[in-house]
Amino acid sequence: MARNRDGAIAMIFALLAIPLIMVIGAATDYTRLEYFKTRLQATVDSAALSGAAVYSSSATSSNATTVAGNYLTANEALLPPHSGSITSSVSAAQVTTGNNQGYAVTVSATGKIVPSFMRILYATIPVSATAVAINPPVSINVDATDFNSDAGDTNTIWYYLVPSDGSTPNPSTFTSSQKIASNVGTNPSSFSIPASSSSTKVGFALQNTTGTNSGWYGCTQYEEASTPALTTYAQCYGHEQWFFSTLSPPSDYSGNVSGYTAVTQNCSLQTKLSSSAPANNTPPVTGSCFSSLPTDATFSCAELTNTYITYYWNDMGWYTDDKDYNDFEYTLSCSGSSTSNNATNVYLAQ
């Protein structure tokens, strides 16, 4: 019987079947694990990006973590089958050193899958993923070498960071650091607006004060439309009106005249985009009003990558305003960490 070799192949195959099945099972479980990890990583990446997109200052860090956390919760059900709930952590912090400076949102998540063939060794297998998204810091560079204003009134340009609800700021809250330029006095050769992040919306306000820049002036179009209408220099001198790039129409009369009739069209602001610094400041259109503001009147640097934008304001002054949009003109661009005129969008650093 010791010399009998009948059935040896069957016995060897039986002995090898167990490890062979284990290898095939392990490969199957590994494939499931990698598929789950890929989907989990994609979800974590998107959650971090969504949070970083709204993280533009220290005041918005809480909102950033909430947005990222809500994205994870909403998309957990779309992940491949797994055991139990996904555990996660979300944090937001400003990074001020290294290559990835900016407003960073970090998202980590861990899920468990139940192996099919390897259950003899592991009841569950944990799968983790981490992502860090950066909203990079940028600056808005205002070209102050060619400020132009053809106005008998005093015109001053202010900037403001647009609140998340899109509301218009109260001019009384403006500080001297928000003043860009005026057609009275000396302006700086350049001005940089610290917009914090590429997703920060920036708006501009034109402050118009009648008759304080020259000996010739008239009432504004709004004062002439008031009830009763103002028609004499004495009645109109030194009155103030404001225009905001976030309002349509931009006018917000803040003077002491009651009963004026507000315009329903935009006769106050035009903008022009160009791929390089414009050689001249000629408004796109003159003598016309428009039904709405230009789409780029309020912008974020993420929307102005490699683009210059020129603002053309019309202060609606004199008895018959000429709507020439040359009462204040200026050009600006954005700069980020990579090139002189490039604002990087929110990106994944890890």
How much is the pLDDT for 210?
Answer: 79
**Shared-domain flag, residues 130 and 145:** no
- Say how many domains are in the chain: 2
How much is the pLDDT for 12?
Answer: 56
Closest CA to 336 of 64, 108, 136, 49: 136
Dist CA 143 CA 5 (whole Å): 95
**Shared-domain flag, residues 175 and 244:** yes
Residues in the chain: 350
How much is the pLDDT for 66?
Answer: 94
Q: Residues in the chain with pLDDT < 50? A: 337-343
pLDDT digits (tens, 9 = 90+) for 202-247: 899 999 887 777 666 667 767 666 656 666 667 777 778 889 999 8
Q: Is residue 345 part of a domain?
A: no
**Shared-domain flag, residues 114 and 236:** no
Q: Is 184 helix (H, G, I), strand (E, B) or coil?
A: coil
pTM of the model: 0.70
Supply the range of the domain harboring residue 114. 8-135
pLDDT digits (tens, 9 = 90+) for 291-327: 888 988 988 887 876 788 999 998 887 666 788 888 8
How much is the pLDDT for 57?
Answer: 77
How much is the pLDDT for 319?
Answer: 64
**Shared-domain flag, residues 93 and 126:** yes
Q: Is residue 342 part of a domain?
A: no
Cα Rg for the chain, rounded, in angstroms? Answer: 31
How much is the pLDDT for 341?
Answer: 38
Cα(first)–Cα(last) distance of the chain, in Å?
67
The 8 Å CB, 24+ separation contacts for 166-173 are 166/201, 166/246, 168/203, 168/244, 168/246, 168/247, 168/252, 169/205, 171/205, 171/207, 171/242, 171/254
Q: How far is CA 242 from CA 58, 220, 327, in A?
A: 29, 12, 13
How much is the pLDDT for 343?
Answer: 46
Closest CA to 231 of 154, 327, 320, 150: 320
Q: Which of 135, 153, 175 is a domain's end point? A: 135
The residue assigned the tokens 């070209």 is 143
266 within 8 A of 312, measured Cβ to Cβ = no
**Shared-domain flag, residues 19 and 113:** yes
How much is the pLDDT for 230?
Answer: 66
